[in-house]
Chains A and B, each alone.
Chain A
């Protein structure tokens, strides 16, 4: 499952029933923290009342859901609040007037810049943040009925998208928040976390906790056990004794594009021993990248370090006629080492990378089905590191006098 779309609202059960269950859970598991996720009408009284009731029921913390993108937002709740910094700040402040437990603000990704909302929540007095909520989505359309999914009696509505597909979006937003001093607060990471590796990535970008839902809906609560165990093993192998030791370690490694080293050159390298001759890299490079992978190797003995290549016209001729000269053979007995050369695949089927033309775009490595067959290797081009900013700093920046 790549992703999951929901159009349901927060609960089909009454507040009273929810709070009773919360109290019950707290009674059975007194040493575990229970956080109440709240979303009510945007009035001071309503928020004061729900905060009071949740804390009375035993909640150890409160999460203000300013993220729900469907249904509730039409009624002035959820992302209707989370998309306006002033509302977010105001309601966070109302809650803080009443709350005795820590208050987290849950942010919506359905905005232009998540930092604006995160800063507003911080100004309103939030103790922490959680990000991200679901993304607006229509997952597909039934091509028989022409009704988008899910079909509710012939009509549909946009929903909130979650699951592994949203993880890259979530990681970016987490990084944006944690790298902004005006927004950074203790952060609970959410968004497609389904393994210990995903969790570690969120921690490395500065999250203090992570939340998992889609993976649990798919595989059950045992996921938490698998994730804790996997994370622990990784921490042991890396020598980390606590989450705090590696929390945020990747944050300094994210920078703006203008600071990247323009003289860093990598090129694709094809491991002939692993290549299976599917030539997906060849077609990807030609049709979708930089036309620097070629199919011009010559099968047969190669003289020392000198590898023979065919001329383009020969390659074209061979391509036109190759299919016609394929013998109908008994393949299980037709493997001739003299034709194959030293590799499992005939040399003529193993692509060659023209390293002078390769820009290191990585597409070939992504489409290659074999692990570690195509790797990106650094090439020493003799140039010292230089960023775009450094390269253009000599240029005179003229400001338009008409723009204030």
Chain B
């Protein structure tokens, strides 16, 4: 694995120049000095990984950039990616008390990026326990943010993690799915290189699809962490959706990020109006499409994307078509596509087509972006192990009742209702999963970490299954070492 796997594409860099330039060292100190260092800071509470925001900002203000980065990494090993990809407007910066003072919030994301860039530029390593502190071998399936966080956490505590990924490059959404003007694939890979230096082993091009493959893993490892994310994009279920020229949003984004699509011409229609749809529409526009329509079956006020993403998309020049639904996709003679759409009206929450409102859009590319379906098969295959795990945990459940969240996470693995839309929420899953492993409570102690992550667990697609290599003496039942952790977290 190396960043050399991606060719430096100057045209791509130019088309997708960074939305926000990074801070100069002096500007970073000035911005850091502006932070009030709130007590029990709302930004820390609003961050899904609960980074100690005032703590790392204070370290920037006094010129301790390495300490600042360590503070970030302590809570969030992918702090660099998150500082670029996070929708901070609705998280930490949205919670900043400066809003109530009619002032601009502290630019937390840019400050975090400043600290993390300095850390990467310095080539520092993440502090971790001496190797072999923990004789624990864990396979993390999938090399997305959840697995990476779980693997890094294990490595940090002196265990051994092996990440198994079906694609050529690690990072999952971070590498393949985040808009290039926010987070470059090379940045993501640089961060994963840091995780690799912690001792995490990577296996690429390996798929785990059959029960036999899983069984083999169970023989090899003590635990298996399922960080597989979501499955295939949901289908439109309209005629012609498999025509040439129809490419789903995630494929489009991954293709341009890896240089497979260099240019788009003509008219592009994006179906859906979530954050991914907006990324795809912006990408199509930046790749050269003359006209980009974004088709949404509901009204502007129902837009599922973040407000700031919508504003950005309008500025990019994307045209929005509200209350329209695709009906069919037909090929046209000159290799173009005909997209039949119909106007819909909303009665209560139900959508009904308006009679005689059929309209056809002539276009060159149709990009469905209507969400991903849960990846359930693998979970179902592992259900017995998972249930076993759940039963064990339930027996040891402390009286406080704070464990309910984790039990759900282990039982269901996937939450089918909410899915995961942020790299951050995936990462949150990793911590509780890692923390149920029999890990000594002593080192390194992280403040409020499990308690923090517990709330996020039900919504995230991750779980841990106990496997065969685990000897009886190290089973969860007989591993009292974990209980101080859990007890502390739930106190």
- A-side residues, CB < 8 A to B, are 276-280, 282-283, 295, 319-332, 344-345, 349, 369-370
Which residues of the other chain, A, contact B454 by a CB distance below 8 angstroms?
324
Query: How many angstroms between the C-alpha atoms of A321 and B405 in the bound complex?
Result: 14
Query: How many angstroms between the C-alpha atoms of A76 and B398 in the bound complex?
Result: 79
Which residues of the other chain, B, contact A277 by a CB distance below 8 angstroms?
38, 42, 97, 100
Which residues of the other chain, A, contact B422 by a CB distance below 8 angstroms?
328
Query: How many angstroms between the C-alpha atoms of A349 and B45 in the bound complex?
Result: 13
Query: How many angstroms between the C-alpha atoms of A324 and B402 in the bound complex?
Result: 10
Q: Does B40 contact A (CB under 8 A)?
A: yes
Closest-CB distance, A282 to chain B (whole angstroms): 6
Whether the pair B101, A369 counts as a contact (CB closer than 8 A) is yes
Whether the pair B89, A278 counts as a contact (CB closer than 8 A) is no
Query: How many angstroms between the C-alpha atoms of A325 and B37 in the bound complex?
Result: 22
Which residues of the other chain, B, contact A278 by a CB distance below 8 angstroms?
36, 38-39, 97
Whether the pair A323, B452 counts as a contact (CB closer than 8 A) is yes
A367, closest chain B residue (CB): B36
Closest-CB distance, A313 to chain B (whole angstroms): 12
Which residues of the other chain, B, contact A323 by a CB distance below 8 angstroms?
44-45, 50, 448, 451-452
Whether the pair A332, B89 counts as a contact (CB closer than 8 A) is yes
Whether the pair A276, B455 counts as a contact (CB closer than 8 A) is no
Closest-CB distance, B345 to chain A (whole angstroms): 24
Closest-CB distance, A151 to chain B (whole angstroms): 19
Whether the pair B36, A283 counts as a contact (CB closer than 8 A) is no
Closest-CB distance, A366 to chain B (whole angstroms): 14
Whether the pair A345, B39 counts as a contact (CB closer than 8 A) is no
- B-side residues, CB < 8 A to A, are 36-40, 42, 44-46, 48, 50, 89-91, 94-95, 97-98, 100-101, 306-307, 402, 422, 424-425, 448, 451-452, 454-456, 489, 491
Query: How many angstroms between the C-alpha atoms of A321 and B422 in the bound complex?
Result: 24
- 24 A-B pairs with CB atoms under 8 Å apart are A276-B97, A276-B101, A277-B42, A278-B36, A279-B39, A279-B40, A280-B39, A320-B491, A321-B402, A322-B40, A322-B45, A323-B44, A323-B452, A324-B452, A324-B489, A326-B455, A328-B46, A328-B424, A328-B455, A328-B456, A330-B90, A331-B91, A345-B97, A369-B101
Closest-CB distance, B473 to chain A (whole angstroms): 32
Which residues of the other chain, A, contact B491 by a CB distance below 8 angstroms?
320
Which residues of the other chain, A, contact B37 by a CB distance below 8 angstroms?
280
A343, closest chain B residue (CB): B100
A277, closest chain B residue (CB): B97
* Partner of A328 from B39, B91, B402, B448 at Cβ < 8 Å: B91
- Answer whether A325 and B455 are a contact pair too, CB < 8 Å, given A331-B90, A332-B94, A369-B36: yes
Query: How many angstroms between the C-alpha atoms of A282 and B100 in the bound complex?
Result: 18
Which residues of the other chain, B, contact A330 by a CB distance below 8 angstroms?
90, 306
Which residues of the other chain, B, contact A282 by a CB distance below 8 angstroms?
39
Whether the pair A332, B452 counts as a contact (CB closer than 8 A) is no
Which residues of the other chain, A, contact B455 by a CB distance below 8 angstroms?
324-328
Whether the pair B48, A283 counts as a contact (CB closer than 8 A) is no
- Answer whether A326 and B46 are a contact pair too, CB < 8 Å, given A276-B97, A276-B101, A332-B89: yes
Query: How many angstroms between the C-alpha atoms of A349 and B37 in the bound complex?
Result: 15
A295, A322, A328, A370 interface centre (most CB from chain B within 10 Å): A328
Closest-CB distance, A292 to chain B (whole angstroms): 15
Closest-CB distance, A245 to chain B (whole angstroms): 40
* Partner of A280 from B38, B48, B91, B448 at Cβ < 8 Å: B38
Which residues of the other chain, B, contact A283 by a CB distance below 8 angstroms?
39
| 8 tightest A-B CB contacts, nearest first | A279-B39, A331-B94, A276-B100, A324-B451, A278-B38, A283-B39, A326-B45, A276-B97
Which residues of the other chain, B, contact A325 by a CB distance below 8 angstroms?
455
B447, closest chain A residue (CB): A323
Closest-CB distance, B50 to chain A (whole angstroms): 6
Whether the pair A328, B306 counts as a contact (CB closer than 8 A) is no
Which residues of the other chain, B, contact A327 by a CB distance below 8 angstroms?
455
Whether the pair A332, B90 counts as a contact (CB closer than 8 A) is yes
- Answer whether A279 and B451 are a contact pair too, CB < 8 Å, given A323-B50, A328-B91: no
Whether the pair B36, A319 counts as a contact (CB closer than 8 A) is no
Query: How many angstroms between the C-alpha atoms of A277 and B424 in the bound complex?
Result: 26
Which residues of the other chain, A, contact B46 by a CB distance below 8 angstroms?
326, 328, 331
A344, closest chain B residue (CB): B100
Query: How many angstroms between the C-alpha atoms of A325 and B91 in the bound complex?
Result: 15
Which residues of the other chain, A, contact B39 by a CB distance below 8 angstroms?
278-280, 282-283
Which residues of the other chain, B, contact A349 by a CB distance below 8 angstroms?
42
Which residues of the other chain, A, contact B50 by a CB distance below 8 angstroms?
323
Query: How many angstroms between the C-alpha atoms of A349 and B38 in the bound complex?
Result: 11
A327, closest chain B residue (CB): B455
Query: How many angstroms between the C-alpha atoms of A321 and B400 in the bound complex?
Result: 12
Which residues of the other chain, B, contact A321 by a CB distance below 8 angstroms?
402, 451
Which residues of the other chain, A, contact B45 by a CB distance below 8 angstroms?
322-323, 326
Whether the pair B95, A280 counts as a contact (CB closer than 8 A) is no
A369, closest chain B residue (CB): B36
A322, A323, A325, A369 interface centre (most CB from chain B within 10 Å): A323
Query: How many angstroms between the C-alpha atoms of A327 and B46 in the bound complex?
Result: 8
Which residues of the other chain, A, contact B425 by a CB distance below 8 angstroms?
328
Closest-CB distance, A75 to chain B (whole angstroms): 39
B97, closest chain A residue (CB): A276
Known A331-B46, A345-B97, A370-B101; further 18 A-B contacts with Cβ < 8 A: A277-B100, A279-B40, A280-B36, A280-B39, A319-B40, A320-B491, A322-B40, A323-B44, A326-B45, A326-B46, A328-B91, A328-B422, A328-B424, A330-B90, A331-B95, A344-B100, A345-B100, A349-B42
Closest-CB distance, A329 to chain B (whole angstroms): 8
Which residues of the other chain, A, contact B489 by a CB distance below 8 angstroms?
324
Whether the pair A332, B38 counts as a contact (CB closer than 8 A) is no
Which residues of the other chain, B, contact A332 by a CB distance below 8 angstroms?
89-90, 94, 307
A345, closest chain B residue (CB): B100
A276, A295, A329, A345 interface centre (most CB from chain B within 10 Å): A276
Closest-CB distance, A288 to chain B (whole angstroms): 12
* Partner of B48 from A328, A344, A345, A369 at Cβ < 8 Å: A328
Which residues of the other chain, B, contact A319 by a CB distance below 8 angstroms?
40
Closest-CB distance, B226 to chain A (whole angstroms): 21
Closest-CB distance, B85 to chain A (whole angstroms): 15
Which residues of the other chain, B, contact A295 by a CB distance below 8 angstroms?
40
Query: How many angstroms between the C-alpha atoms of A162 and B455 in the bound complex?
Result: 55
A283, closest chain B residue (CB): B39
A328, closest chain B residue (CB): B48
Which residues of the other chain, B, contact A276 by a CB distance below 8 angstroms?
97-98, 100-101
Which residues of the other chain, A, contact B42 by a CB distance below 8 angstroms?
277, 349
Which residues of the other chain, A, contact B38 by a CB distance below 8 angstroms?
277-280
Query: How many angstroms between the C-alpha atoms of A349 and B97 in the bound complex?
Result: 11
Query: How many angstroms between the C-alpha atoms of A330 and B46 in the bound complex?
Result: 10
Closest-CB distance, B321 to chain A (whole angstroms): 24
A286, closest chain B residue (CB): B39
Query: How many angstroms between the C-alpha atoms of A329 and B37 in the bound complex?
Result: 23
Closest-CB distance, A277 to chain B (whole angstroms): 5
Closest-CB distance, B372 to chain A (whole angstroms): 19
Query: How many angstroms between the C-alpha atoms of A326 and B46 in the bound complex?
Result: 7
Which residues of the other chain, A, contact B306 by a CB distance below 8 angstroms?
330
B54, closest chain A residue (CB): A278
Query: How many angstroms between the C-alpha atoms of A320 and B90 in the bound complex?
Result: 24
Query: How many angstroms between the C-alpha atoms of A322 and B46 in the bound complex?
Result: 11
Query: How many angstroms between the C-alpha atoms of A306 and B103 in the bound complex?
Result: 33
Query: How many angstroms between the C-alpha atoms of A329 and B46 in the bound complex?
Result: 8
Which residues of the other chain, B, contact A320 by a CB distance below 8 angstroms?
451, 491
Which residues of the other chain, A, contact B98 by a CB distance below 8 angstroms?
276
Query: How many angstroms between the C-alpha atoms of A277 and B402 in the bound complex?
Result: 28
